[in-house]
Structure 1
Amino acid sequence: MATLKQLQKTLQLTYGLVPIVAGLDKFTNLLTNWADYLNKGLIPIDPSVFMKVVGVIEIIAGVLVLLRPKPGGYLVMAWLICIALQLLAGGHYLDVAVRDLVMAIGGYTLAQLSTNPSGNPKGVSA
């Protein structure tokens, strides 16, 4: 059976590496054309420029999760909620919005598992 520390490390690697990969892909669009997901009425600049800015933020968030999982987990959680709200406001890609909200719960879980230096959040026993 996995320990809380192992689960925390799995979430840390997942929520660290995935944003870095997605952020880097904002410059190449190999995985998808990221600008398609934008509610273009909400942004005042060119979608490709905006997505590159998003990419830099995602790379920073991923690195933060790898180095400091508690604040990084909360940052990734907030970022995913913002993405989901933007998608909901646009009325498209609602499945992706729901997926991002579920992923935000994972970011919150990572932050909570990283709350205590012993690896056990308050009130949770190993």
Structure 2
Amino acid sequence: MGASVAGAAPSVSGGTTVLRRARTEPAYGAFTLLRVGFTVLPVVFGLDKFANVLTSWEGYLAPWIVGLLPFSAGTAMMIVGVVEVVAGVLVAVKPRYGAYVVALWLAGIIVNLVTYPGFYDVALRDFGLMLAALTLGRLASAYDPAWGRRDHAR
């Protein structure tokens, strides 16, 4: 999972477990909860872009964007699905960077949603999710070492 501020890496087998640490350290608990959420949800929503079980995703794509595309809205949403799955996996592997990818992706979704009427409520919800992704990125700077580093200098 990465090193903590104190330098003690969580361990699943013995020592400090992730769950115990999440219960006793509020900041680590928030980091863990956000990491799991921003791993699972983008993957689920990304996969659903291929199945359209949760909703018909093409309806969320602004008409002006559809007009710019050289392919159908359905194909565009499948590409979106791939990006979302990759973003979710990146959060799982390296939340320090993946959180900012998700935040940037959500910013793009917000721009899409506010450019035509009927989805301002969804855009506002996504703004809240973007803030949560940025929070994960900040927390990850304490709990997830940078590429090539094993622990923190803090």
TM-score by length of 2: 0.73
**Aligned-residue RMSD, C-alpha:** 1.5
Contact 1:39–1:89, Cα closer than 8 Å, also in 2: yes
Q: In the TM superposition, what is the alpha-carbon distance from 1:2 to its structure 2 partner?
A: 4.8
CA pair 118-84 structure 1, distance change in 2 beyond 3 A: closer
Which amino acid counterpart does residue 48 of structure 1 have in structure 2?
G
Q: In the TM superposition, what is the alpha-carbon distance from 1:116 to its structure 2 partner?
A: 2.3
CA displacement 1:44-100 (0-9 Å, x = unmatched): 120000000000000000000011001111011111111011000122211000000
TM-score by length of 1: 0.89
1:39 maps to 62
Q: In the TM superposition, what is the alpha-carbon distance from 1:117 to its structure 2 partner?
A: 3.9
The number of aligned residues is 119
CA pair 39-9 structure 1, distance change in 2 beyond 3 A: same
Contact 1:81–1:104, Cα closer than 8 Å, also in 2: yes
Contact 2:94–2:144, Cα closer than 8 Å, also in 1: no
Unaligned runs of 5+ in 2: 1-23, 146-154
1:79 maps to 105
2:133 maps to 107
Contact 1:77–1:107, Cα closer than 8 Å, also in 2: yes
Which amino acid counterpart does residue 61 of structure 1 have in structure 2?
A
1:1-126 matched pairs, under 5 angstroms:
2-43=25-66, 44=69, 45-117=71-143
Q: Which has the larger radius of gyration?
A: 2
Unaligned runs of 5+ in 1: 120-126
Give the Cα–Cα distance (whole angstroms) in 2 for the partners of residues 2 and 90 of structure 1. 43
Q: In the TM superposition, what is the alpha-carbon distance from 1:118 to its structure 2 partner?
A: 7.4
Q: In the TM superposition, what is the alpha-carbon distance from 1:7 to its structure 2 partner?
A: 1.0
Give the percent of matched residue pairs that are identical in Structure 1 and Structure 2: 34
